[in-house]
Amino acid sequence: GENVEQHPSTLSVQEGDSAVIKCTYSDSASNYFPWYKQELGKGPQLIIDIRSNVGEKKDQRIAVTLNKTAKHFSLHITETQPEDSAVYFCAASRRYSTLTFGKGTMLLVSP
């Protein structure tokens, strides 16, 4: 089955800096890669996703890149703000399978 590795487990940045979270996956047939943000005591919320026919996708301060050859994808957050502090999960899935999540990254943005 699919295995998703996520790094780092904790990331501390200053407000205004950029943050990068990286994930690798094992199943070359995986073709859907969402990123979720989970605030304390709440359910995960989708913030951006990318499919295998696209190499990069951007939504305001958030971007995701995908390298299918290397089987890794990354989340980039620019101009970080304190409200970006949360746990971020990457995930991967292939046709006819369910999502496999990474273990999560706790992002702390200091004012």
Partner 1 sequence: DAMVIQNPRYQVTQFGKPVTLSCSQTLNHNVMYWYQQKSSQAPKLLFHYYDKDFNNEADTPDNFQSRRPNTSFCFLDIRSPGLGDAAMYLCATSRDRSTDTQYFGPGTRLTVL
What are φ and ψ of residue 50, in 5° steps? -145, 145
45 or 110, CB closer to partner 1?
Answer: 45
Strand 62-67 versus strand 72-77 pairing type: antiparallel
Smallest gap from residue 111 Cβ to partner 1 (A): 24
| Residues 12-51 interacting with partner 1 (rule: CB under 8 A) | 31-32, 34, 36, 41-46, 49, 51
Smallest gap from residue 16 Cβ to partner 1 (A): 27
Site for partner 1 contains 89 (CB under 8 A): yes
d(CA 15, CA 27): 36
d(CA 44, CA 35): 9
Share in percent of the chain as helix, strand, coil (round to 5): 5, 55, 40
d(CA 93, CA 9): 21
Site for partner 1 contains 85 (CB under 8 A): no
Smallest gap from residue 76 Cβ to partner 1 (A): 20
Smallest gap from residue 103 Cβ to partner 1 (A): 5
Instruction: Using CB under 8 A, list all residues that contact partner 1.
Output: 31-32, 34, 36, 41-46, 49, 51, 89, 93-99, 101-104
